[in-house]
Structure 1
Amino acid sequence: MSTLTREPGTRRTRGRDLPARRPRRPGTGVPYLLLAPTLLVIGVLLLWPLGQVAVMSLHEMGIRELRGDRPWSFVGLENYTQILSDPFFRTVLRNTVLFAAANVALTMVLGTLVGLLLNRLGKRMAGFVGAAVMLAWATPALTGAIVWKWIFDDTSGLVTWFLNELPDGLSSALFGRAEWTGYGWFNSPLTFFTVLTLVVVWHSFPFVAVSVLAGLKSVPGELHEAARVDGAGPWRVFWSVTFPLLRPLFGVLVVLSTIWDFKVFTQQFVLAGGTQDRSTFMLAIYSYAEAFSPPPKYGLGAAIAVVLTLILLAVTGVYVRLILRQEET
């Protein structure tokens, strides 16, 4: 018997080999058509307002210009030159960078520890602790800031009451004072940023904890077991097994935390009671103060907002570049 062979990519029809039919591909414009609604929403809600802010930063604007009573006065890069040459802007930038660095570090450490704890607890206890932790994340920033401001109130706050209840000798030895009624927690930059850091970390670490918990669930248990058999302790297991596998997750969390902490506004505005204390300014509230404090300078405030956006885009770009390098290696 003779063996009939067919070339690959052909089909038999009535004894003849014909080229196999290829699946029909949709038109090249179909994917873009499907993406069009999403791109339209992004453009309207994000790109258009950002473009308006960038345009405003190139003009000198006040109330009359904003209402349309007078045309916008184009000044080019004068607003950027003014803020970048101002020594106070460098002070504000330093405050923002130091505050963001401290908060990102504390948020990541606390969130990771809580995530590891949740991973080791039983189902019921983990559900209870997880629900309690997520209450902080679910609380609106404004509500949380008001509660924390009452906790540190100088007359009726919980912290003031607790410190007054301490023995005078112990309080004097630890803190250098025995009477705490009337102590202004928000009057000094050091104590203000301490309380603000506590508020921001309290509100931010649940997201990190839950994200780390989800990442830990994806790590095969056999790897941990093998490391323990080899004699590795908990610390060694985390750094040699868990952390390398979850490095992309930690990278995303660090970038998100950096963006959030650079943009802190609500908590600072509530705790400071407005924009009177310029010694505690950071970029977000500095932009607001320049734009809306009388006389309003909307162009200058918009320029500060653009600088803040460029800094955050640079941070995100560095992270994306590092991720791409890791994938290449």
Structure 2
Amino acid sequence: MTNISTLARGGGQSATPRRPNSHRPARSGGLPAWSVPYVLLIPGLLVIGALLLYPLFQVGVIAFQKVGLVQISGKKPATWVGWDNFTRIFANDIFWSSLRNTLVFAVVAVSLTLIVGTAVGTLLNKLGRKMSTFVVVGIMFAWAVPPVAQGIIWRWLFDAEAGIVNWALNALPDWLSNLVFGRADWTGEPWLNDAWSIYMVLIICVVWASFPFVAVSVLAGLKGIPAELYEAARVDGSSAWRTFRKITFPLLKPVFAVLTVLSIIWDFKVFAQLYVLMGGPSNREAFNLSIYSYAEAFRPPPKMGSGAAIALVLTVILLVVTAVYVRQLVKQEEM
């Protein structure tokens, strides 16, 4: 009785279990608690290293070597040539025209993709749930088409003999076609022979396949903006453009930052669509850096050192452009 009354008054040992010490070190043979997340990251880091870092390292090594058909066959080892591959490509006019095509195409394609995707995402946000879901599923089919299939589709649409584009233009009234385009006959128009028209088709192809991802991302961001902000803007008589500039864009700036960086990376290294539209690396005036790298590395006689040098230059340009853009965004957020 004395022990029971003593425990009841709290004078003895508490009957409730003590909380375990969260700072207690791991038992012998186990891992410290702080190291568990890092250990779990090891498999992912190994995959990234095997699929990305090691090939990138190999490209960097080959860029400073002479690797041709003799070296590929194993008859001779690759020889170290230092900066000779870079000197050779920088002295070639094709490199500078390819760089110009890459930069101009990326600027136009990224801008149009973001504009069209944002417009479609804003429209989807105003539709009902069922109609919005229906449209999202429909446009995502375009995004899911593989790059090679995208090139085949648009190459067929702009085919000189059997393309739907020439057929549709010929179906226009002559007066309207003359008024808009300055000509009425589009039979046999070779859209994919000239560098300018090739890139026009390529821009349409890339924007068509890329804007659904931007639209869905913008739609997801718009769903997180409180409706009260838009109601207050309507009460104040704000126009649609002012509402977008003052409310939507600032709140979706992180979303636009990610979409812009991804679009820059994707459009700078476009290869499959352009390769299919050109029918191979045949028109040098229409080369971008990816096609030029492929042509140097694999067209006879193969010069893999030069191809790797071009690929390394493209990688450095992407890293610099992305770093500058992200740095500007960080500065704006700090301000």
Show the 5 A alignment for 1:226-245. 226-245=232-251
Please point out which of 26, 40, 57 is paired with 1:34. 40
Distance 1:252 1:13 in 2: 61
Q: 2:78: which partner in 1?
A: 72
Q: 1:137: which partner in 2?
A: 143
Worse-superposed segment, 24-33 or 311-320: 24-33
Show the 5 A alignment for 1:54-203. 54-203=60-209
Q: 1:3: which partner in 2?
A: none
Paired amino acid for 2:325: Y
CA gap of 1:14–1:328, structure 2 versus 1, over 3 A, is farther
Please point out which of 214, 222, 225 is paired with 1:219. 225
Unpaired segments ≥5 residues, structure 2: 1-10, 15-19, 26-31
Q: 2:292: which partner in 1?
A: 286
Paired amino acid for 2:297: A
State the Cα RMSD in Å.
Answer: 1.9
Paired amino acid for 2:286: T
Q: 2:23: which partner in 1?
A: 23
Distance 1:32 1:135 in 2: 38
- State the 1:13 CA deviation: 9.0
Paired amino acid for 2:94: F
Q: 1:253: which partner in 2?
A: 259
CA gap of 1:13–1:267, structure 2 versus 1, over 3 A, is farther
- State the 1:27 CA deviation: 4.9
- State the 1:24 CA deviation: 3.1
SS of aligned partner of 2:200: helix
Q: 2:6: which partner in 1?
A: none
Q: 2:28: which partner in 1?
A: none
Distance 1:245 1:29 in 2: 36
Paired amino acid for 1:150: W
Paired amino acid for 1:38: G
Q: Deviations over 1:269-295 (max 9, x none)?
A: 001111110001101111001111111
CA gap of 1:21–1:178, structure 2 versus 1, over 3 A, is closer
- State the 1:259 CA deviation: 0.7
2:160/2:189 contact within 8 Å kept: yes
Q: Taking every aligned residue pair, what percent have the same amino acid on both sides? A: 55
Paired amino acid for 2:23: P
Worse-superposed segment, 268-277 or 147-156: 147-156
Unpaired segments ≥5 residues, structure 1: 1-11
SS of aligned partner of 2:300: coil
SS of aligned partner of 1:64: helix
Q: 1:45: which partner in 2?
A: 51
Distance 2:244 2:180 in 1: 36
2:154/2:205 contact within 8 Å kept: yes
- State the 1:32 CA deviation: 2.7
Distance 1:28 1:220 in 2: 38
Paired amino acid for 2:234: R
Paired amino acid for 2:138: A
Please point out which of 299, 302, 309 is paired with 2:308. 302
- State the 1:21 CA deviation: 4.6
Distance 1:67 1:32 in 2: 42
Distance 2:21 2:176 in 1: 87
